[in-house]
Structure 1
């Protein structure tokens, strides 16, 4: 459920880019990002930096294309969106607050949040998403410079990158718990929990 909320603005944008203008797609993405923020506030959750960043990104790009320069191609718009999301991920790492941390804090118990590996796991998951964003940016560049490349190739790579990151996000915490359970306790006994 959490991953669906995180990806909802981008899913709305990507789906609409197939059937309508960039301006409509960008403003719809901004609207969905605003809705996720409202949903978080309504349920007493924290306002997520990725949701706010997405709202600003989609709104600013939508405004720019609507009022200043409407000549952008679809691949250029997708490149700007994916580049913006990549920048958000990298900034979150640079300021030592990986963007996944806000989501993780809301789904784990307080004891898990205190574990020394909790921050490390969030960095690893954020880097996995960052790698997916890099792949999407590179795909958009490829689509710009090789316009004869079928649209489905770009869509397939973007979906594979996003789905791969989403699956990794679900798998990695379970993997860390399994590895921790196999660690020997003091005295050489292996943990059974």
Structure 2
């Protein structure tokens, strides 16, 4: 989340000739470890592996990945992130429950584990904001020169991005709870998978888009000469492909009718073509 350059010399963000160049030369592994997705990947793994009779295995796998990410980050000279520590503690508790708890307790976690993990992330994300240490800030600092860490623009960008992630976690918890409590279907295609993934992909897209948008928007507001802010359509660049893949997944899993699946695919394809017209540079 390196800040793009502006034309004014007030050091509210780094210039492209410095950190931007460094980011391009960063290895793939380092780039992943410098992204919040590294800390969130154990949660994604847990959601993919979870299911009836697989609580212990999914919790152990998530704990293993959490430890691997923590060790890799430390080995490559990165700072220990609050999210990575939270991962190890949370999944360590879940793994212990899987080993020691009764069968009834494990069945409860299999039913409500999705909502529990989402709520835990909501508390963590909003808690980091309340403590004035938004969790994305630690990742952003690793790709931004120290001289910019205390600038209002840099801090505001990370507060906003962390808040969007917190809202995405809240959305996932709400739709998951709706599926479990009202539909009585924890594996519902829409509430258990698609709608939750929609919130996650939106947060990912926002994380990439907002650091490019906010500096130029702020410069415009100050009457400074700068490049136009990125189009807001860029924020939804992922959506047509997401809709098309949803149609394909629905057909493959027999979760939607043939008509609905084909319609989603066509909407996604034509939406992608239309989006290109709005986001062309």
| Alignment-derived partner of residue 117 in structure 2 | 81
Offset at residue 115 of structure 1 (A): 2.1
TM-score, with structure 2 as normaliser: 0.62
Offset at residue 149 of structure 1 (A): 7.0
| 1:125/1:10 CA distance change after superposition, 3 Å | same
Give the whole-Å Cα distance in 2 for the aligned partners of 1:124 and 1:173. Answer: 10
Of structures 1 and 2, the one scoring higher in RCO (CA 8 A, sep 6+) is 2
- Asked if 2 retains the 8 angstrom alpha-carbon contact of 1:181 and 1:191, the reply is yes
- Asked if 1 retains the 8 angstrom alpha-carbon contact of 2:180 and 2:186, the reply is no
Alignment of 1:135-146 (within 5 A): 135-145=171-181, 146=183
Q: Does 1:151 align with 2:188?
A: yes
| 1:92/1:114 CA distance change after superposition, 3 Å | closer
TM-score, with structure 1 as normaliser: 0.88
Q: Does 1:126 align with 2:162?
A: yes
| Alignment-derived partner of residue 191 in structure 1 | 225
Alignment of 1:51-66 (within 5 A): 51-66=84-99
Instruction: Give the gaps of 5 or more residues in structure 2.
Output: 1-31, 228-281
Offset at residue 123 of structure 1 (A): 0.9
Give the RMSD, CA atoms, in angstroms. 2.0
Give the whole-Å Cα distance in 2 for the aligned partners of 1:87 and 1:25. Answer: 22
Instruction: Give the gaps of 5 or more residues in structure 1.
Output: none
- Asked if 1 retains the 8 angstrom alpha-carbon contact of 2:153 and 2:215, the reply is no
